[in-house]
Structure 1
Amino acid sequence: MQFEKVSQFDNLEMDYICDFSGGFISRNQNIFSQIELTDLNKFILEKAVFGTPIFKLGDKGNKLLVLSGIHGNELPSQVANLKALNELLDHSLPHTIYFIPFAAPKSTMNNQRFFNSLDLNRSTHIEDSLSNMILKAIIDLKIDFVGDFHSTAFNSNPGFESIFSSKSPCPESFLMANYISRDVGSNIISFDFAGSSYKGAVEDVCNLKGIPAVTCEVLCPFAQVSEGSVERSYAQMKSFLGYFGI
């Protein structure tokens, strides 16, 4: 990948995961109405029209990824991701942080769970799926740890605020989940081995590749942003980063 410095913002670099996933986030009023239109957020929304942008802050320490929007209709984490990026923009960081606020801007624009009829959290193992392309970027960039942020609705899976993790082959997945759970109170859902329940989740495939990862879920109706849901997702993100002293 070829990151380029963003002239408008000190310390920020960006690249694209792909150029076929773009969308006008502003067309989804359920999320757009929740986004503070800072100069940075306006810039990100413009770039999302042309594909899946990835942003980079810092250049030392561990490499971390804050990911959201794998399911386009899970909105709170996408707003929280923008909030975290804005918050950290001018900070001196001990680690390198990558942000993907909108994994599939087209799906977010349409408020749809799937991207081109494919569930991206069941297809990371499928060659050339969008989530597989994100995985390839994670490997190419030598990212050390991944936090994938979602939301869940009542009567869905899991249907409550939670953190998915596994104990093998990456025990640190479970350690990160425990840290976040103790910090913000989210319930832990842990499996003995990654991918044992279903295939293709970003978190599971990362763990199977030796890259410790967790999936954090907050409670919110799909395609909506309920009161407090952005704040809860943001708290999970801050805790994930806090595990590394950020």
Structure 2
Amino acid sequence: MYFEKIEEFSNLEMSYVSDLSRGFISRNKNILKNLELNKFTQFIYEKCVYGTPIFKLGSGGNKILILSGIHGNELPPQIANVILLNQLLEKKLNHTLYFIPFACPKSTMNNERIFNSMDLNRSAHINNSLSNLIIRAVESLGIDFVGDFHSTAYNSNPGIESVFSSKSPTPESYLIANHISRNVGSEVLSYDFAGSSYKGAVEDVCNLKNIPAITCEVLSPFSDVGEGAVLRSFSQMNSFLSYFGI
């Protein structure tokens, strides 16, 4: 995967996971009204018109991915991811951070959970699905840890603020989840073995490939931004990074 240096943002490099997922993020009014439209945020929107962008900051240390938007109608983590990227843009980092704020711009544009008739968090094991292409990018880049950030509505699954993890085959998944829980209070939901409940979650596929991963959920109505949900997701992301001393 080739990363291009972005001259107007001196610490930033970017590439694309896929060009099949392109969409106009700014057509999602709930995204637009909850993000400051500065130069960098506008840049991210523009890049999403061509597919799923992946951004890189820093070098050395662990390679860590912050992922959001696997479900396009789960808005708070996508907003929080862009805010985090904005805040870290000029920081000196001791690790290599990768960001996919909008995993599927088309789904986010349309406030849809699925893409090409697939739930991307049930199809990461299916060859050439969009979430499978994200897994391939994780492998090709040698990413060491993955945080996948979602939101969940009341009376849905899981329906509570939580951190999913598994104890095997990557026990560090469980350690990271407990670190986040202690920091921000999200409930740990853990499986003894990755993928034992259902197949195809990004977190589970990563863990089965011995890449420690967790899934964080905050409460918010689907296709909307619940009060405080962006801040809660942002706190989960910061707690995930703090596990690595960032």
Q: What TM-score range do you get, normalising by the shorter chain?
A: over 0.9
Is 1:47 equivalent to 2:52 in the alignment?
Answer: no
Letter in 1 for 2:199: K
Secondary structure of the equivalent of 1:120? coil
Secondary structure of the equivalent of 1:236? helix
**What is the CA-CA distance between 1:93 and the residue it aligns to?**
0.4
1:102-142 deviation per Cα after TM superposition (whole angstroms, max 9, x unaligned): 00000000000001111000000000000000000000000
TM-score of the superposition, structure 1-length normalised? 0.99
**What is the CA-CA distance between 1:32 and the residue it aligns to?**
1.3
Q: Aligned runs of 1:1-246 on 2, under 5 Å? A: 1-246=1-246
Q: In structure 2, what is the Cα distance between the partners aligned to 1:104 and 1:143?
A: 20
**What is the CA-CA distance between 1:33 and the residue it aligns to?**
1.0
Percent sequence identity over aligned pairs:
69
Which 5+ residue runs of structure 2 have no aligned equivalent? Answer: none
Letter in 2 for 1:189: L
Q: In structure 1, what is the Cα distance between the partners aligned to 2:33 and 2:100?
A: 20
Letter in 1 for 2:13: E
Q: In structure 1, what is the Cα distance between the partners aligned to 2:190 and 2:232?
A: 20
Letter in 1 for 2:165: S
Aligned length in residues? 246
Letter in 1 for 2:208: L
Letter in 2 for 1:236: Q
Which 5+ residue runs of structure 1 have no aligned equivalent? Answer: none
Letter in 2 for 1:9: F
Letter in 1 for 2:62: N
Letter in 2 for 1:51: G
Q: In structure 2, what is the Cα distance between the partners aligned to 1:176 and 1:213?
A: 8
Structure 1 moving runs of 4+ over 4 Å? none
Letter in 1 for 2:195: G
Task: Please provide the CA RMSD for this pair.
Answer: 0.4
